[in-house]
Amino acid sequence: MSMNKDTILKVEDLKTYFPTRTGIFKAVDGVSFELKRGKTLCVVGESGSGKSVTARSILQIVDKPGRIESGSVLLTRADGSLTDLAKLDPRGKDIRSVRGKEIAMIFQEPMSSLSPVHRIGTQIGEALRIHFGTPKKEQRERVLELLRQVEIPRPETAIDRYTFEFSGGMRQRVMIAMALACNPQVLIADEPTTALDVTTQAEILDLIKKLQQSHGMAVLFITHDMGVVAEIADEVLVMYRGKVMERGPVEQIFHAPQDDYTRRLIGSVVKLEKKAEVRLTRTAIPAEAAPLLDVKNLSLTFPSGLKAVDDVSLTVRPGETLGIVGESGSGKTTMGRCLLRIYDPQAGAIDFRRPDGKTVDIRTADRAELKNIRREVRMIFQDPVGSLSPRKNVGQIIAEPLKLAGMRGRELDDRVAELMAQVDLEPAWRERYPHAFSGGQRQRIGIARAIAVKPRLIVADEATSALDVSLRSQMLDLMMKLQDELGLSYVFISHDMSVIRYMCDRVAVMYRGRIVETGDTDQVVNHPQHDYTRALLSAIPHPDPRDRRIHKRFRYDPARTVSANG
């Protein structure tokens, strides 16, 4: 068997199957690839593509009842010999001597992937004990060194702490330190940044790159994010439903894709890289138009003392989409919920202009008034599963706000059918329950419920975050179509700059409960004024391997501002 001398791992025709009651599920169906020393291979695909199972098959740690059906996983050992990992007993000694020592792995959820009751030092040092029998004292020295390598501040204290005392980014660093303990030849990273904010993601990507260079590791990087792929990959493997659709250098995948699916995938990503076409031709909304919503100095402090919304002011003009962008914990969701009085803000004003031209302060509105306002201001939720009662059928769900508004009988039935057609759902499906619908369809049901009572403003909270990228632009296009048809205004909350750029007229950037910058989307995206906005924008992976950006990103430090490269 001939292998290139740089090839560390060669996977050939790998098949991993899950027997189920209804038949065999082919999670990985004939996947082949090679990993080369010092190079990064990205495996990319949407949910259910089998990319994670592929990664787990290499170490034979696929969850039950999955098993490797056929194929080979050839590893070049340190002494130059070849071992077929797929042939080893998954509980045996031989495969264990590879796990953690020659091939190490990091996972998506650093919190649940680490034990909550063991100190991190113990968990990191464990691999040393297992593979080399390193004595306690030496172990500790080595762990401290590893913690320094992954840039965890104050390693001497950190080593004795528990995982829940760290932030998400720091936990992922702990995972990386753990993986590096035995100086592996191969690092498998299974969506290691998916649960993280973009700025933290950029840090972790940087760290992995740096360690890869200093250790000469091959990296197998699993991700669904084409931006991340473009930023870090040398080679790319595109997967769809267990099969490899295309494999090649990153340059080729992005700029000369051969396969249809790859082309569509790249297409949907690139589509979200600029403003939606329907918005390019629309006449501008006059800046002097009286605002539909005028939020002034809104503040909300939770009983825990957390200042979730801190002196926020913003306006929404009729027919406009205002984007609110921010990272987790920025208070954007809380702020959105304040607009509908799901939370009660303690200070400020939310002036809403009624159709008759009078303004009402939602913050101080009484019960009856609030009920009326809530017919004009509606909400679309993030979670397409949790926001629909599983116990009601779709017809009942969409009819609920109408019924409460007093609609009955034939009129109600017709209206529900009309609404379903409006969001491209078959009206004949009204008898079906939410469990019979896919994520995208459920989100359409949510939209139908929101527009049922002919609202004027819709607060959409991360409405597309739970959807795969190919569905995302469809949903946004639907929302814009409805906006034009019904004369809606949107407050569109998202952590994702690309969807904001795609559909929002103006954008407000939130950071730690405050709005740090507001302006026209183009203005903010292209010429950010505030340093936080600059940092946020520059940390976003750019889906073009010819223009890799995040390693020269701008870092924001609320105390003092410095650029990463001096």
Partner 1 sequence: MPPAQTSAEKQNGKKMLRYIIKRLVFAIPTLFAVSIIAFIIIQLPPGDYLTTLMADWASQGGAVEAGTVAAMRERYGLDQPIYFQYYKWIWGILTAGDFGISFELGKPVTELIWNRLGFSMLLSLLTLCFVWAIAIPIGILSAVRQYSISDYTATFLAFFFLAVPDFLMALSAMYVMSAWFGQSVGGLFSPEYVDAGWSFGKLLDFAEHVWLPVVVIGLGSLAALVRIMRANLLDELSKPYVTTARAKGMSELELLIRYPVRLALNPLISTLGWILPAVISGEIIVSVVMSLPTTGPLLLRALLAQDMYLAGSLILLISVLTIIGTLISDILLALTDPRIRFQ
Partner 2 sequence: MTDITSLPPDTGPSFNLSGKDMAVAGQWRLFWLKFKKHRIALASLVIIVFMYLVAAFADFIAPFDPNATNARFTYAPPQALSLFHDGSFQPNVKQLKMTLNTESMRREFQPDPAKPVKVGFFVKAQQPYYLLGLVPMQTKLFGLTNPQVGDSLYIFGADRLGRDIFSRVVHGAKISLSIGLVGVFMSLILGVTIGGISGFFGGGADLAIQRFIELLRSIPTIPLWMGLAAAIPVGWPPLRTYFVITLIVSLIGWTSLAREVRGKFLSLRSEDFVIAARLDGMSEIGIIFSHLVPSFMSHIIATLTLAIPSMILAETALSFLGIGLQPPIISWGVLLQEAQNIRAVAQAPWLLFTPAAAIVISVLSLNFLGDGLRDAADPYESVS
Binding to partner 1 by residue 167, rule CB under 8 A?
Answer: no
- Interacting partner of 99 out of partner 1, partner 2, none (Cβ under 5 to 8 A depending on kind): partner 1
CB of 182 to partner 1, least distance (A): 8
Contact pick of 346, 389, 529, 563 for partner 2 (by CB under 8 A): 389
Binding residues for partner 2 restricted to 106-135, rule: CB under 8 A? 108
CB 336 within 8 A of CB 491: yes
Binding to partner 2 by residue 400, rule CB under 8 A?
Answer: yes
CB of 78 to partner 1, least distance (A): 15
Contact pick of 38, 313, 429, 519 for partner 2 (by CB under 8 A): 429
The rounded distance, in Å, linking the Cα atoms of 564 and 566 is 6
Record the tokens describing residue 424, joined without a space.
Answer: 């491209």
- Rounded to the nearest 10°, the torsion over CA 255, 261, 265, 268 is 100
Binding to partner 1 by residue 127, rule CB under 8 A?
Answer: yes
- Interacting partner of 431 out of partner 1, partner 2, none (Cβ under 5 to 8 A depending on kind): partner 2
DSSP state of 5: T
> Any alpha helices (H) in 430-528, and if so which ranges?
439-451, 469-486, 497-503, 521-526
Beta-carbon contacts of 72 under 8 Å, excluding residues fewer than 6 positions away, are 10, 11, 12, 13, 14, 84, 86, 87
Contact pick of 83, 97, 194, 474 for partner 2 (by CB under 8 A): 194
Total residues interacting with partner 1, rule: CB under 8 A: 38
* Nearest to 420, CA basis, from 429, 411, 412: 429
Contact pick of 378, 495, 506, 553 for partner 2 (by CB under 8 A): 378
The rounded distance, in Å, linking the Cα atoms of 222 and 304 is 38
- Interacting partner of 468 out of partner 2, partner 1, none (Cβ under 5 to 8 A depending on kind): partner 2
CB 488 within 8 A of CB 457: yes
User: Residue 316 belongs to what H/E stretch?
Assistant: strand 307-316
Binding to partner 2 by residue 465, rule CB under 8 A?
Answer: yes
Pattern 290-309, partner 1, x by CB under 8 A: --------------------
Binding to partner 1 by residue 154, rule CB under 8 A?
Answer: yes
Binding to partner 2 by residue 393, rule CB under 8 A?
Answer: yes
Binding to partner 1 by residue 142, rule CB under 8 A?
Answer: no
Binding to partner 1 by residue 117, rule CB under 8 A?
Answer: yes
Cα→Cα distances 414→72, 77, 100, 105, 397, Å: 59, 69, 61, 55, 14
User: Residue 51 belongs to what H/E stretch?
Assistant: helix 51-58
Of 98-106, 201-209, 474-482, 545-553, the segment contacting partner 1 by CB under 8 A is: 98-106
The rounded distance, in Å, linking the Cα atoms of 175 and 171 is 6
Residue 323 β-bridge partners: 492, 507
Report CA 161 to chain centroid distance, whole Å: 28
Tell me whether residue 162 or residue 429 sits nearer to partner 2 (CB atom). Answer: 429
Record the tokens describing residue 202, joined without a space.
Answer: 């950029």
Of 135-143, 373-381, 519-527, 551-559, the segment contacting partner 2 by CB under 8 A is: 373-381
Beta-carbon contacts of 170 under 8 Å, excluding residues fewer than 6 positions away, are 152
Binding to partner 2 by residue 440, rule CB under 8 A?
Answer: no
CB of 174 to partner 1, least distance (A): 11
How many other CB atoms sit within 10 Å of the CB of residue 550? 24
Binding to partner 1 by residue 107, rule CB under 8 A?
Answer: yes
Binding residues for partner 2 restricted to 210-269, rule: CB under 8 A? 222, 224
The rounded distance, in Å, linking the Cα atoms of 439 and 54 is 24
* Nearest to 38, CA basis, from 229, 221, 220, 219: 219
Binding to partner 2 by residue 491, rule CB under 8 A?
Answer: no
Half-sphere exposure of 240 (CA within 13 A, CB side): 13
For binding to partner 1 (CB under 8 A), which residues are involved?
56, 59, 61, 63, 91, 93, 96-101, 104-105, 107, 109, 112-118, 126-127, 130-131, 154, 156-157, 159-162, 164-165, 175, 178
Binding site for partner 2 (CB under 8 A): 18, 20-22, 25, 27, 45, 47-49, 51-53, 56, 63, 66, 108, 190-191, 194, 222, 224, 340, 342, 371, 374-375, 378-379, 381-383, 385-391, 393, 400-401, 404-405, 429, 431-433, 435-436, 438-439, 449, 465-468
